[in-house]
Amino acid sequence: MYNIQKAVSRLNYAPKLKEIEITDIKKGLGVFTPKPDKPVSFAALKETLKKAGYALDTADITVVGVLERDGKNWVLVSDMTKQRFSLAGENLAKVMADAALGTRVEVTGGWQTTGTGATAREVVSVETMKKAEDAPKVASFITSDVLPSPAMDASHARLKSVTTVAPAEMNSVVTKALAPIRTTSPGLTVYKGGAVTPRLYFIRQRLGGLEVNRQLLDLSLSYTPTPRLQLAVEVPVSRTAFDDGVNSGSGTGLGNITLWGKYRFFRKVKTYGDRQAAVRVGLELPTGQKSAPTEQEVNAPAFIRQQLTPISGGLSPHFDLAFSQAGGRFIFGGNVEGILRSERDGFRMGNEVRVNTDLEYVLLPREYQAPGNELFVILESTFVQKGRGRLNGAVVEGSKSTEFYLAPGLQYAADPQFVIEGSVQLPVIRNTGPMVLRNTVNVLLGMKYLF
């Protein structure tokens, strides 16, 4: 829903982002008070939401102004901007039966824009009309609507049936703000905005008598310039400590930086539900530290010692296809990713195929009306198949692996722009060769901030 708020805030007549309120996340209802010195446009509102990936069905508006005539038609001239609103509707004759020219009134009704360009005009299908108060009053709340203030121009616009964003995409549902933790999301976070996502991994690996502990900080920065395209950069920094029972040591270094581009080619939104699919392409750059411990430092073959560096090879393209579906409190998603690895200084791990699934449930709040304070319970799975690696141009036997992991986790949207998350990945199946380090546990702690 943050995505909707951010989209509306770009209108020249919209208030600050925090003053745009989502009042019912299930039905997609929201309210805002336009700036008192700017004319409003339903067409502009509808187009702005469309660019952000949402469909505006209807909107109501309340206007305070003076009644005038335009030929035989009634017109309301707003107090602050002098913008002219044509009055229409099935009940107009009844509502205007006792109306008089020059009367200051408050009109509420359905809002539309008719015509285009110079002929465009704002039309209110009048539902209610009452005499406006002379003295300004402070805006107050009754249930989910904002009462108008005579000191303001169009006191509020209520969006009815704005296509709802599923809780999983709140990444802009609230947040997906929210997104799965380890599974690729087809969501694009915020249109003409982005996200900063630092994640800290604690990974333990073993192979025979060799024990390895890694701490990996992965910093991702993304930006969404269009409703379909997202650009991102991922920067990992790793610390690796090892102990073979005789010798021990550690090292810290930059990993391979990856550039990403994601294109969302499918999206179907319904009330409190969302389906979407995207293709993602990445390019892993040979930027990481490549120096491995020597044989004197670790009693292990060269191919295993190379795995103690922050890299898995050199320049490597990534290809990813992701899908998600949300309905009510449940979200399901998955992705398939392929990685083609190239050698760097004669070393590379095997090419990879990864299949991830994501199952989420909105546990809290039980009464789900407005975005914020959502607690997601998450269960993700990861299947990884790696081909044989290479060292100095030769295939390394025993370097293939097939692994399957489960990762329970929690994700909490403390604010529509801020999410914290954590998960623990545990091995279920590990069919690995004698030349591959084996993961025993992978703990992830992360956060996400939308801008």
> Which CATH number goes with the domain that contains 438?
2.40.128.130
Distance CA(18)–CA(371), nearest Å, equals: 12
pLDDT more than 70, % of the chain: 87
Q: What is the mean pLDDT of residues 66-84?
A: 90
In this structure, are 140 and 93 located in the same domain?
Answer: yes
Do residues 148 and 185 both lie within one domain? no
Tokens of 135: 């003295």
DSSP letter (8 states) at residue 35: -
Residues 247 and 111 in one domain: no
- Strand 258-270, strand 229-243: pairing: antiparallel
The predicted-structure confidence for 160-187, as pLDDT tens digits, reads as follows 433 333 333 333 333 344 689 999 999 9
Rounded CA-CA distance 65/126 in Å is: 14
Q: Pairing relation of β-strands 229-243 and 193-207? A: unpaired
* Same-domain pairing of 274 and 182: yes
**Helix then strand then coil, % of the chain, to nearest 5:** 10, 55, 40
Rg (CA), the chain: 28
CA angle 221/223/225 to nearest 5° reads: 170
Query: Would you state the torsion angle of the CA atoms of residues 272, 277, 283, 284, taken in this order, to the nearest 10 degrees?
Result: 50
Which of 127, 160, 193 is the last residue in one of the domains?
Answer: 160
131 and 67 belong to one structural domain? yes
Residue that has been written with the tokens 């249109």 in this structure: 191
User: Do 364 and 399 form a contact (C-beta atoms < 8 A)?
Assistant: no
State mean pLDDT over 327-338.
93
Question: Is the same domain home to 149 and 173?
Answer: no
Lowest mean pLDDT among 9-23, 102-116, 347-361: 9-23
Q: How many domains does the chain have?
A: 2
Closest listed residue to residue 238, CA positions, set 261, 208, 260, 212: 212
Residue closest to 26 by CA, chosen among 329, 410, 415, 358:
329
Residue 151 confidence (pLDDT): 27
The answer to whether 378 and 397 have CB atoms below 8 angstroms apart is: no
Question: Dihedral, CA atoms, 115, 120, 125, 128, nearest 10 degrees?
Answer: 180
Range of the domain at 247: 167-450
- Max Cα-Cα span within the chain: 98
Q: Using 50, 70 and 90 to split pLDDT, how confident is the model at 381?
A: very high
- Taking residues 30-41, what's their average pLDDT? 86
Clarify whether residues 273 and 354 are in a common domain.
Answer: yes
Say whether both 8 and 109 belong to one domain. Answer: yes
What is the per-residue pLDDT for 156? 37
pLDDT surpasses 50 at 7: yes
The single-letter code of the amino acid at 87 is: L
Q: For 34-58, what is the mean pLDDT?
A: 85
**Residue 269 and residue 389 in one domain:** yes
Length of the chain: 451
Judge whether 29 and 58 are in contact, CB under 8 Å. no
- Tokens 């024990």 found at: 211
Answer yes or no: is pLDDT of 138 > 50.
no
pLDDT tens, position by position, 223-273: 999 989 999 999 999 999 999 999 999 999 999 999 999 999 999 877 667
Pick 7 or 408 by higher pLDDT.
408
Which DSSP category does 393 fall into?
Answer: T
Tokens of 255: 């990993």
Residues 446 and 361 placed together within one structural domain of the fold: yes
Whether 189 and 143 map to the same domain: the answer is: no
128, 160, 192 - which closes a domain = 160
324 touches 185 (CB < 8 A): yes
Q: Are residues 176 and 153 in the same domain?
A: no
Instruction: Choose one of 137, 160, 183: the last residue of a domain.
Output: 160
Contact present, 129 and 96 (Cβ < 8 Å): yes
